[in-house]
Structure 1
Amino acid sequence: MIPPAAAAAFVEQAGWGHAAILPLAGDASLRRYFRVVDGARRAVLMDAPPPQEDPRPFIAIARHLAGEGFAAPAILASNLNEGLVLIEDFGDERLKEYLEAQPQDEAAVYSRAVELLADLHSRPAADLPAYDRAVYQREAGLLTEWYCPAVGLTVDEAAYVAAWDAVLPLVERSARSPVTVLRDYHAENIMLIDRPEARGLGLLDFQDALAGHPAYDLVSLLQDARRDVPPEIEAAMLAHYRAVAKPPADFDAAYAILGAQRNAKIIGIFTRLWKRDGKPRYLSFLPRMWGLLERDLAHPALGPVADWFAANIPADKRHDALEGFAPA
């Protein structure tokens, strides 16, 4: 976590010439983050090195969200050639760690997060590419591309595509109109901040946003890859969303389909992070992801996809099949 060579000159030009640049965090991509400290002032330096990373989508969506009254980090300065962006610092209190310390607040805080989504979904979508059938299929295909070979399975990939083609039309029909889908709306990307007008919730990691179905971000929140959301909280928050947003009657079916699609995708991504990127720690999340996926597959709307899993991935090749590769 050494700052990039251009960082010192960049923060100086931005008016932070005497600041310290301290390691903060990385994520599953090549992006890295540093805290910039100048006396009482704090900011965050995003290092999104080109050509692999492009910070322009993050900047565009941050400005769109801020313009709609949501708490996305203010963009303080940017150098797109170097992939450097100086952004507002939302502090260190992520929803995940807050709930670990204050579990009694789970329902109240998740209610606020659900209401934020309902508010976002009541507004026109940002100018974004569509989250369409081609994207859904490409993402779901990460499971057959990465996970199945890792556990020694040769599966019927054509039938897998056909199974998804059989269930995705319900999702396509059920959305009244596309909404801004942040795509990674979960407890590690939601900050608790002192901004009552934004429900006290700061948004991060939305650079991959698309225009799609409102159920997707609700799945991201309530079927979290990195923390266990109690089933009773998930059910209560689904009911809360229905009460606030008044979605169509088939919303629960769309939620299950997109839950299965997202969870299959994440199983593939986490396997790829191990196999391709040398990050085995993500394998420890796979038992949770399989549990969530199997819950979604039990919904009647997912019959063809559930049948494919039953025929192609036996029980002993799920859950902890890669456990021996995960770090202790």
Structure 2
Amino acid sequence: MDSRLTALTDWVRQQPGFTQAHPETVSGDASFRRYFRVLGQPDAGAPRPFIVMDAPPGKEDVGPFVAIARQWHAEGIHVPAIHAENREQGFLLLEDFGDELLLDHLNDDNVDHLYGLALGALSHIQATAEPADYPLPPYDAALLDREMALFRDWLLEQHLALELTDQEHCLLDTTFALLKEAALAQPEVPVHRDYHSRNLLVLGDNADLGIIDFQDAVRGPVTYDLVSLVKDCYIRWPEEKIDRWVEDFRQMTRNAGLHQADRDTFRQWVELMGMQRHLKASGIFARLAIRDGKRRYLDDIPRTVNYLLEASHRQPALRHFHEWLATRVIPLLEPQVA
């Protein structure tokens, strides 16, 4: 018996307009959170759907989600409005953005329009103030190190069963240190930290985007969310499109006073930040498959590692890492793709 679902149902039915609610599963995500849809009439109008988040206390904390959602919503960011909350039980009743993931809508004809919306919303996020009751944690050296370690621990050693030599450990340590230094040198802004096509929902016939899964937001490098979007782990776009989106965003955010970088500097920030992001993501995908049994994420590892291969090829300082990746790791991934 699902005691959490029973408690969630009891709580929802105590909210005005939801006395007859029957939660139906929408999805889980890469964490312990679950989401359910309910119909309600909180304003005595026609029944309409809402989302209930189940975040088990001890495993998930709804506090950051609530603080960030209220701050961003107040500043005009299209995040779900919070209709009711129970922080002790880990339940939230939220505005429903539907199920139309950006990923499922993208095609060559509409991607520039939809990415334009996403880039505009991102520049807006980067200009927001911090929540008064929840200063965003820093994207500091320790966090960057922990994230890149996922590549070694979960992808290389656990998933690919590589027995790394001392020389290979040294190569990885040197690469990680370079990427960490580059990330910490960038101007800092609010960072969503998972800003990609599965966390953006298409609303109103491609007229707007809803933003979800922002509870892990931090204050960190100005290009982190940009590279999450334009070098998405779930979909690939031609380099010429990526170049244009990066330059559009550079100009947008420079005009907003968020940095003073020229074109070449900003593109270099994107390249190195993307490598940090993709080291982390490929390790997380392996961990989700091995530890949590979510094997569908294995399909996204080759695309993610290929971003690493291409970016390192353009970095003379990372030539040895690039050669090692090409000869030691990529051949082990190719049979899995086949």
Counterpart contact for 1:189–1:204, Cα < 8 Å: yes
Q: What count of residue pairs does the alignment treat as equivalent?
A: 317
Give the root-mean-square deviation of aligned CA atoms: 2.4
Q: Which residue of 2 aligns with 1:106?
A: 111
Q: Determine if contact 1:286/1:319 at 8 Å carries over to the other structure.
A: no
Among 236, 248, 267, the alignment partner of 2:282 is 267
Matched letter for residue 66 of structure 2: I
Q: Aligned partners of 2:12, 2:35: CA distance in 1, in Å? A: 13
Which residue number in structure 2 is paired with residue 164 of structure 1? 176
Q: Does the Cα contact within 8 Å between 2:138 and 2:220 map onto a contact in 1?
A: yes
Query: How far, CA to CA, are the matches of 2:55 and 2:334 in structure 1?
Result: 31
Q: Distance in 2 between matches of 1:96 and 1:316?
A: 31
Worse-matched range after superposition: 202-211 or 231-240: 231-240
1:314 offset after TM fit, Å?
Answer: 4.9
SS at match of 2:195: coil
Greater relative contact order structure (CA < 8 Å, 6+ sep):
1
CA contact (8 A) 1:253 1:299 kept: no
Matching of residues 1-328 of structure 1 within 5 Å: 4-15=5-16, 16-38=18-40, 40-100=47-107, 103-126=108-131, 127-149=135-157, 150-155=159-164, 156-175=168-187, 178-194=188-204, 200-246=208-254, 247=259, 248-249=261-262, 250-300=265-315, 303-304=317-318, 306-311=319-324, 313-315=325-327, 317-318=329-330, 321=333, 324=336
Quick one: distance in 2 between partners of 1:320 and 1:22? 41
CA shift for structure 1 position 233 = 2.0
CA distance in 2, matches of 1:163, 1:22: 46
2:39·2:47 contact (CA, 8 Å) conserved in 1? yes
- TM-score scaled by length of structure 1: 0.89
Are the equivalent residues in 2 in contact too, given 1:30–1:49 (CA < 8 A)?
yes
Task: State the 1:61 CA deviation.
Answer: 1.0
The percentage of aligned residue pairs carrying the same residue is: 33
| Inter-partner Cα distance in structure 2 for 1:18 and 1:167 | 53
CA contact (8 A) 1:195 1:201 kept: no
SS at structure 2 position matched to 1:130? coil
| Helix, strand or coil at the partner of 2:6 | coil
The 10-residue stretch of structure 1 (222-231 or 262-271) with the greater mean CA deviation from structure 2: 222-231
Match of 2:43 in 1: none
Which ranges of structure 1 fall in alignment gaps of 5 or more residues? Answer: none
Contact 1:99 1:105 in 2 (8 A): yes
2:219 is paired with a residue whose SS is strand
Displacement after TM superposition at 1:272 (Å): 0.7
Checking the alignment, whether the CA contact within 8 Å between 1:286 and 1:320 is kept in structure 2 is no
- Relative to 1, partners in 2 of residues 1:320 and 1:153: Cα closer, same or farther, differing over 3 Å? closer
Q: Which moved more, 1:210-219 or 1:244-253?
A: 244-253
Provide runs of 4+ in structure 1 moved above 6 Å: none
Secondary structure of the equivalent of 2:49? strand
| Structure 2 unmatched runs, 5+ | 41-45
Report the more deviating stretch, 60-69 or 246-255. Answer: 246-255
**CA-to-aligned-CA distance 1:117-170 (integer Å, 9 cap, x gap):** 222223445521100121111101101011111212122334422332234323
Give the partner amino acid of 1:307.
Answer: H
Deviation at 1:21, TM superposition (A): 1.1
Change (3 A) 1:83 1:125: closer
Instruction: Tell me the alpha carbon deviations over residues 253-300 of structure 1, each in whole angstroms, 9 at most, x when there is no partner.
Output: 111111001101111111111111111111011111111111221232
Deviations 1:89-133 (A, max 9, x none): 012222112225xx4111111012112222222344552110012
| 1:172 CA displacement | 2.2
